[in-house]
Amino acid sequence: MHKALIVSAVTALTVAATPLLAQDMQAGMDLYNDNCAICHGNQGEGYPKEVVPDGAVRIKKLAGDSGYWDFAVFKAAVVDGTDDHGRPMRVMPAFGKTGLYEPPGQMLTDDDIKNIQAYIRSFAPQG
């Protein structure tokens, strides 16, 4: 009887949490598409130097390992425009200073950043 109650409780919690996870993924997708895809590509493929008009900079590929940065590193990249070594990136906006492109000027919350990171983690790794 005790085991059945535990299994029922865990199942109920899992089912109850599922819509929230889907909503978070949708929120991450919306934020990514409105603010990140223009530079990083629709599926996080990034752009090599050869594709960028001035050829001077490569836009970071997000599909694969950078989607798996720990939250602090990912947040620093998004909010401060710094890489995983804390160095400023040349073309990455510091959304923590400027706010978002869409909605204009909106500041990101930690939940927003987690939602974006969750969405990026859904991309298939690129070669």
Task: List pLDDT tens digits, range 6-31.
Answer: 544 444 444 444 455 666 999 999 99
The pLDDT value recorded for residue 91 is 81
The pTM for the full model equals: 0.73
All structural domains of the chain, each given as residue ranges with its CATH number in brackets, are 23-121 (1.10.760.10)
Instruction: Average the pLDDT over 36-55 and give the result.
Output: 76
The three-state secondary structure class of 6 is: helix
The pLDDT value recorded for residue 11 is 47
pLDDT band for position 60 (cuts 50, 70, 90)? confident
Task: List pLDDT tens digits, range 95-120.
Answer: 999 899 988 999 999 999 999 999 99
* Residue 90 CB-density burial (10 A; 0-12 exposed, 13-18 middle, 19+ buried): exposed
Task: List pLDDT tens digits, range 75-100.
Answer: 999 999 998 889 998 888 899 998 99
In whole angstroms, what is the distance from residue 4 CA to residue 93 CA?
52
